[in-house]
Amino acid sequence: MAGRRVVVFPSSAELGPVLAHLVTSRAEKAIASHGRFTLGLSGGSLVSMLRKELLALPQPDCSKWVIGFCDERLVSFDDPESTFGLYQNQLFPKINIPESGILTIDSSLPVAECAEDYACKLKQVFPGEEFPVFDLLLLGMGPDGHTCSLFPGHPLLEETKKIVAPISDSPKPPPQRVTMTFPVVNAARCVAFVSTGGSKATVLKEVLEGGKASPYPAARVAPTSGELFWLIDDPAAAALTIQVERPGAGAKL
């Protein structure tokens, strides 16, 4: 791993623009290096943050972007729980990303077949790679320390071969989901967590300061040779004792 950077902002208002610049700067770097930018998205508060902040920047050229989803709920795209549906409603039509560049699940399939189908889609986009190497993955963390749809104590935490795995017993509804596995997450060139709010403070301390013994799935994210950012706000960072970065206004990562 190239090193973990924990970057603290007064609030999400200061965090958001830095996140948007991280996305666009990594996109420019990837396209210059290998002709495209592969981005893995998560849901939750990230959707509205990216909508607001990406659209506030000069319009990036997204024609060479390829977007996948770090996890997805097995629901129809018009369901409020659909991560793709949220981005489709709030962001995708406003940027010039081709429809062929957005990799969606087939929600009509049973969950195990859906996971296999999505894994096949990723293999087609990342030919010849044992595990897809995304340029950037954007992750969130739940109050229980889960990330993607990888939950504490779940057998999927130990999955080492599958690219995408099904989960039919998610402790957080809806129960049926598909999720990237840790080998894919940790193969990425860059991973950025976004975690805000005081409800995350206790778990965040355990994840960032608990060492290898931490039971929380988010603590297992450690890119093999990529960058790892934790972008958090003051309320989420309230319990931390480790050294953190506190950038000034207009900072770029």
Each residue's pLDDT tens digit, 179-228: 999 999 999 999 999 999 999 999 999 999 987 778 999 999 999 999 99
Instruction: Give me the DSSP letters along 52-96.
Output: HHHTTSS----TTEEEEESEEESS-TTSTT-HHHHHHHHTGGGTT
pLDDT value for 58: 87
Which of 227, 232, 225, 235 lies closest to 246, judged by CA? 232
State the amino acid at position 53 in one-letter form: E
- Taking the C-alpha atoms of residue 219 and residue 92, their distance in angstroms, rounded to an integer, is 31
pLDDT digits (tens, 9 = 90+) for 30-64: 999 999 999 999 999 999 999 999 999 988 889 99
Please identify which residue in the block is written with the tokens 């355990």: 206
Q: Model pTM? A: 0.97
The angle subtended at Cα 75 by Cα 74 and Cα 76, nearest 5°, is 135
At residue 61, the pLDDT reads 86
Task: Please report, as a single letter, which amino acid is at residue 159.
Answer: E
For the segment 223-244, what is each residue's pLDDT rounded down to a tens digit? Answer: 999 999 999 999 999 999 999 9
Q: How does strand 190-195 pair with strand 65-69?
A: unpaired
**CA–CA separation, 116 vs 110, rounded Å?**
10
Amino acid at 11: S
Which positions ≥6 away from 211 have C-beta within 8 Å? none
On whether the CB atoms of residues 164 and 179 are closer than 8 A, the answer is yes
pLDDT at residue 136 in the model: 98
The mean pLDDT value of the chain amounts to 95
- Per-residue confidence (pLDDT) for residue 1, from 0 to 100: 52
Burial class from Cβ neighbours inside 10 Å (0-12, 13-18, 19+) for residue 125 reads middle
Question: How many other CB atoms are there within 10 angstroms of residue 189's CB atom?
Answer: 19
pLDDT confidence of 2, banded at 50, 70, 90? low
Q: Interhelix angle for 45-54 vs 83-90, to 10°?
A: 20
Task: List the domains of the chain with CATH numbers.
Answer: 10-226 (3.40.50.1360)
Q: What is the CB-side half-sphere exposure of residue 161 using CA atoms within 13 A? A: 1
Return the amino acid letter for 199.
S
